[in-house]
Amino acid sequence: AQSVTQPDIHITVSEGASLELRCNYSYGATPYLFWYVQSPGQGLQLLLKYFSGDTLVQGIKGFEAEFKRSQSSFNLRKPSVHWSDAAEYFCAVGAPTNAGKSTFGDGTTLTVKP
Amino acid sequence: DVKVTQSSRYLVKRTGEKVFLECVQDMDHENMFWYRQDPGLGLRLIYFSYDVKMKEKGDIPEGYSVSREKKERFSLILESASTNQTSMYLCASALGGQPQHFGDGTRLSIL
């Protein structure tokens, strides 16, 4: 069975500081990996995805993530955080089969200090 | 761009009522999903559907049923609403193993 762990429930960073959100997954084969962002009262929006190939993937809003198979990790990074990045972030693992089902982590809430 | 539309943003119902939550997607995706989201519990899959009239239970199907009569529409039904079903409900659709596209959610309160 696949699973996702986001160890940090809540992270606070200052505006302009760098950000790293952690994600560890459990999956038998090469997974499909995703990061989504959810602003208050909204649905989830895809930030980036990894299917195969280059292990460093670029996403929208200046985010990137690195797939590390040896560590079963897919951490999300941003070099300089903006106040508008305050939101909840979800890591998810999926598969090419299984009807597109994904397993989501419990989320990390990001607070940005001015 | 893919659009997933949930019929209501906010809904208030009474205990024991039969409640219908509707979701429509406009991109011909074969896969559709219903989740509930509660603070500290992340997203929990209630049901998903991989084709018209085809459905499978997710992690928390008890108290819910679904209907998919047309490819673009996936309905979640609370057979007899209870207060513990007060939650945010999210619908999503996807093409194969591609990322899921989410609606804006329905915040349901059961009084």
With cut-offs at 50, 70 and 90, classify the pLDDT of residue B96.
confident
Q: Is B84 exposed, middle or buried (0-12, 13-18, 19+ CB in 10 A)?
A: exposed
Instruction: Give A28-68 pLDDT, tens digit per residue.
Output: 777 899 999 999 888 999 999 999 889 999 999 999 999 99
B34 touching chain A per CB within 8 A: no
Dihedral sign computed on CA atoms, order A65, A87, B25, B13: positive
**Tell me, what's the pLDDT at B58?**
93
With cut-offs at 50, 70 and 90, classify the pLDDT of residue B40.
confident
Average of per-residue pLDDT across A24-31? 86
- Taking an 8 Å cut-off on Cβ atoms, the answer to whether B40 and A96 are in contact is no
A33 touching chain B per CB within 8 A: no
Give the dihedral of Cα atoms A99, B20, A88, A76; nearest 10 deg.
10
pLDDT of A71 above 80: yes
- Helix, strand, coil abundance in chain B, percent, nearest 5: 5, 60, 40
pLDDT of A20 above 70: yes
**Residue B40 exposure: Cα atoms within 13 Å on the Cβ side:** 0
Which residue of A43, A90, A94 is in closest CB contact with B97?
Answer: A94
Residue pointed to by tokens 């409640």: B19
Instruction: Give B20-37 pLDDT, tens digit per residue.
Output: 999 999 999 999 999 999
First to last CA, chain B: 37
With cut-offs at 50, 70 and 90, classify the pLDDT of residue A99.
low
Share of chain A above pLDDT 90, in %: 80
Instruction: Give B100-109 pLDDT, tens digit per residue.
Output: 999 999 999 9
Mutating which of B24, B100, B102 best tests the A interface, going by the most A Cβ atoms within 10 A? B100
**Residue B36 exposure: Cα atoms within 13 Å on the Cβ side:** 21
Q: How far apart are CA B52 and CA B21, in angstroms?
A: 17
3-state secondary structure A17-69: CCEEECCEEECCCCCEEEEEEECCCCCEEEEEEECCCCCEEECHHHCEEEEEH
Distance, CA of A52 to chain centre: 16
- Between A79 and A52, the more confident residue is A79
- What mean pLDDT value characterizes chain A? 93
pLDDT of A27 above 90: no
